[in-house]
Structure 1
Amino acid sequence: MITRTGLFAALPEGRRESLMAAAREVAFPLGERIFEEGGHADRFWVLHTGTVALDLHVPGRRAAVIETLGAGELLGWSWLFPPRQWHLGAEATSPVRAWEFDTDAVLRQCAKDPALDHALLLYIAEVIGKRLRSARTRLLDLYGPAGSGEPR
């Protein structure tokens, strides 16, 4: 069943089904590393059950968890921009089921369908902005002066 939230809600009518042609169902057990910061980014996921922690390597310390994603959320946007390397790491914090998308197939669809391309880019730009704000707040909470991570 294709949900009408998150990425799927952002797509023009009729594009959800065509995008799903590039997807397959996958599962990740609790504790599985889905990808590592700096690794090759060649896929993305839309979670339908479970949670995934996004983390950032901090030299000399344990990785800092930046955000936890849940059902309906997009996991992975780094595939869209050269050099196609993950900007964060990701780990399943509970058993996860997701749709995994083949990014080469998605990019071919986008090249043929400007409306899909535009909607996908706008949605991913919104996700990137949210993740940047979340990373800033979390890092200030962890390493900044007391109270510096709270939004103004």
Structure 2
Amino acid sequence: MQSQLNHFDEQGNVVMVDVSAKNATLRTATAQGRITVSADVLRAIVQGTAAKGDVLGVARVAGIMAAKRTWELIPLCHPLALSHLSVDFTILEQESAVLAQCTAQLWGQTGVEMEALTGVTTALLTIYDMCKAMDRGMELSDIHLVYKDGGKSGQYRREEEQT
């Protein structure tokens, strides 16, 4: 793991990292997170009866749109020409939760971890927004990088925590 902070120049000024000398490689990142909701909210999501419409459909589009604009939201992120973005959901009935997963990919000189994290977080926030009239006690949690590949640092796969 790199210990030097690379968003600062020799004089201590904040800078965007220069990636122009880096080799382009296939870069992939997957992030996930969950939102825990009431049983009524989960039922409305699954049955498509939420007052604001297709919760997961809208959340999918919101996550993709946000990932594409990560560079506008996170200071010093590079604007990227993403070649693939997906946002998928798994209903966790026993936990009364929705698991969201975002995968971003490109052929380029810098990674796509921030895009995957932005996509999954925005998808979860959209679920909250579309269902808050039914339950303001929903909780977003466990947002993290699951996998990344490409570049000098190679592959990373998160080990699942032991419960």
Q: Which has the larger radius of gyration?
A: 2
TM category (shorter chain) comes to under 0.3
TM-score by length of 2: 0.26
TM-score, L = length of structure 1: 0.27
Flag the structure with more relative contact order, 1 or 2, with Cα contacts below 8 A and sequence separation at least 6. Answer: 2
